[in-house]
Chains A and B, each alone.
Chain A
Amino acid sequence: MTIVTPLPLRASSTRRDALRFYGTWLAVILVILILPRVFSSGGSLTTFSLAGISIIFALSYNILLGQTGLLSFGHAVYYGLGGFLAVHAINFLGAAKWPVPLPVVPLIGGFAGLAFALLLGWVSTRRGGTAFAMISLGVGELVASSTLILRSFFGGEAGITTNRTKLLHSFGFSFGLQIQIYYLVAAWTIIALVAMYALTRTPFGRMCNAVRDNPERVQFIGFDPHVIRFIAFTFAGFFAGSAGALSAINFEIANSAYLGAQQSGLALFAAYIGGIGVFIGPIVGAIFITYLSLVLSDLSSVWQLYFGLIFIAVVAFAPEGIAGLLLRHRPIWRAGEIMRVLRAYLVAAPPTAMMLTGLVLGVEIVARHAVDSRDNPMMHLFGLSMDTSGPLSWAIAAVLTLGGFAIARVTWTGVARAWDDAMTAARAEGYLT
């Protein structure tokens, strides 16, 4: 992984640094507490809960991909099994009337993920790179296919349902209301965030980075990369399992979709689009993906296609992800050269937007044409309605796309030039080594 920038080693000895560090965490906690007061509708509460679960899942995925350099295509296995174990635990505990409150259940899911990661991880992590990717894919398919065989445990196609309110009520919480689930998810998100951040700061976290960057060298200094990969894998399994349990609590159901390839793909998308090189990246990605999936699915019937296209665009043009891309501007910002780059962005924005509008228009026309062109050729997009059966809409889409592309190409070279100038200036002022 050459694209990953190592986390800066910092002693955080100065008081100011410590203040900034704890201030950031406090601010995050404050925002999480205040959010439901500002956006109190049921829809936004659900969105926040989903985002919290995605954040844990994406961060757990990044323990593998970003920190240890393991590209997994089967991470949902641990998420899903955590979810299933949580549902079974709730059902069992509720029926047996054991005095276990619901907030403990994510821990059960986490240990389920951990147990399965211990079971499957040793074989999976023998080698990194492509071999690991293949094995994770195989193991993922193996477990996902088993859901239809082991029906009593996985509930076949329908899945297993539960009732989260059957457990022991704690502190007056029955966890029937979404707001209570929100706080449960929020609390777990903060715990997982702190734990996973702390993990990156331990010597073990550093060894993971070393395995990612140069496994031979790790072996040479007397550590076994296999063991380090395996331990990282179990940690990732634990947090994925707890995320799966939270998801099962949120929906009160676990089904085969939880551990399918699609779910693994979502973790990959979220972590990578956000940026795998920095800790905040997967958080940004998870929020972005959650928000986008909820908003886009309302706007367009082909929203998943846009998902894939965004992912490809990130891989091709911004391999450090959204967070990495933003962080790249920091030296320029500090050098006071940001305006130069911003101006170039402003110039490039209109033709780029034009090109993207044309592309979206084209996709929507094709989609409308393929689905129900006979029934309803009229399409509503960007507040306008147009007839997709005529050649006019096709022509508009083509002109916007091609014209936008032609102009955008020129303006983006301008951006590259402005970027180079600003970087040179920043380097001259010593903000960049």
Chain B
Amino acid sequence: MSELIFTSTLNGILFGMLLFLMASGLTVIYSMLGVLNFAHAGFYMLGAFFGYQLSRWFGFWPALLIAPLAAGTLGAAVEHYGLRNVHRNGHAAELLFTFGLAYVIQETVQVIWGKAPVDYRVPELLDFPAFTVFSTNYPAYKVFMLAMALVIFAVLLLGIKRTRIGMIVQAALTHPQMVAHLGHNVGQIFMLVFGLGTALAAVAGVIAGPALVTQSDMAALLGPILFVVIVVGGLGSLPGALIASLLIGLLQTFAVAINTSLGSLFGSLDPAHAPSLLTDIWNVSIAQIAPVLPYLLLVLILIFRPMGLLGTRAT
């Protein structure tokens, strides 16, 4: 039992941190541009596929650097050439634009890499068990993912608290009008923020790709959960997004784990042989009740606390 709690907590935190990497970008974009980027999970997927392709050409470590840069540049371009022009037709048009973009990204990935999962592997350097708990090996790559997520979280937090851009982002969270009135080059900041947000999503994709399944429906599977995170956390609230990410990460991991331990639904699935519990979360066909839980949480939150856990602003 304690083994279950330990590994589930670890996996839950890991999944939660990955969710936060994406949700933070999405929240910042929403706060500043006022647009819910439907294509955000698409950029996460692009990150995973770019990471896969680049790591085949140059190896994993260069890919870890180049793939987010490429995805971020693409994101900035989307903001500059697409969203900015759609903006004059209102927020609904922007939302629809990103919805169409998500669709196009999905189809493009399918055209280029196919529908089947690609062989995106853990780099050899990290392909060993880090430590053994209760006779279960915990892979080093997961420790690396967790460390990466924590480092980026720390950098993000410092960046928001200490840098000039961070100050503006922070101000935009609470007083978006004031920031514009203070005469900042809002257009350029928007582009930068959008690029940064999508790059963050891509980082999550590059590092999650080898541990989870890299295939063309990963965005469609994760996208809605991402929205659950930011709605539950409170639209526009970074700390709320963190809490909600961890909450949903733990919720889903424990739900799957408890199901597994019951053995009635997952009798054939020995955890030791399964690639990862997280894979199950993404794999709807295996997990039974876990995929529904975030949406149940969403509906409950919207009934009892519509502004989300830490949200203050009405949408």
Q: Which residues of A come within 8 Å of B, CB atoms?
A: 1-3, 69, 71, 73, 123, 126-127, 129-131, 133-135, 137-139, 141-142, 145-146, 148-149, 157, 261, 265, 268, 272, 302, 304-305, 307-309, 311-312, 315-316, 319, 363, 366-367, 370-371
Contact = CB atoms under 8 A, between A and B. Distances in A.
Interface in B239-297: 284-285, 288-289, 291-292, 295-296
B302 interface: yes
A316 B302 contact: no
A312 B306 CA distance: 31
Among A149, A272, A304, A308, residue most surrounded by chain B Cβ atoms (within 10 Å): A308
Secondary structure class of chain B's binding surface, majority of residues: helix
Given A130-B36, A138-B224, A148 B295 contact: no
B235 interface: yes
Interface stretch (B1-9, B99-107, B155-163, B199-207): B99-107
Contacts of A148: 284-285, 288, 291
B36 A133 contact: yes
B228 A316 contact: no
11 contacts: A1-B90, A3-B90, A71-B92, A123-B299, A131-B315, A138-B299, A139-B299, A146-B292, A302-B107, A319-B89, A371-B114
B154 interface: no
B91 interface: yes
A370 B91 CA distance: 36
Contacts, number: 125
B292 A305 contact: no
Contacts of A3: 89-90, 93
Contact of B96 (A69, A272, A366): A272
Given A145-B291, A371-B114, A316 B92 contact: no
Given A134-B231, A141-B224, A311 B91 contact: no
A149 B97 contact: no
A316 B315 contact: no
Given A142-B299, A307-B103, A316 B95 contact: no
A305 B306 contact: no
Interface in B48-86: 82, 85-86
A135 B302 contact: yes
Given A130-B95, A315-B93, A371-B114, 4 more contacts: A134-B227, A148-B291, A316-B86, A366-B111
Contacts of A316: 82, 85-86, 97
B128 interface: no
Contacts of B224: 137-138, 141, 261
B298 A138 contact: yes
B303 interface: yes
Contacts of B36: 130, 133-134
A127 B306 contact: yes
A295 B182 CA distance: 53
A302 B107 CA distance: 8
Contacts of B101: 308, 312
Interface of B: 36, 82, 85-86, 89-93, 95-97, 99-101, 103-104, 106-108, 111-114, 220, 224, 227-228, 231, 235, 284-285, 288-289, 291-292, 295-296, 298-299, 302-303, 306, 314-315
Nearest to B83: A316
B111 A130 contact: no
A321 to B, nearest CB: 11
Contact of B295 (A129, A141, A261): A141
Contacts of A130: 36, 91, 95, 235, 315
A261 to B, nearest CB: 7
Contacts of A135: 298-299, 302
Contact of A142 (B82, B108, B295): B295
A302 B109 CA distance: 11
Contact of A123 (B89, B285, B303): B303
A256 to B, nearest CB: 10
B89 A2 contact: yes
A371 to B, nearest CB: 7
Contacts of B106: 308
Given A129-B315, A137-B224, A316-B82, A304 B284 contact: no
A366 B112 CA distance: 7
B98 to A, nearest CB: 9
A138 B231 contact: yes
B212 to A, nearest CB: 18
A71 B98 CA distance: 14
Contacts of B85: 316
Nearest to A140: B224
Contacts of B292: 142, 145-146, 149
Contacts of A133: 36, 95
Nearest to B81: A316
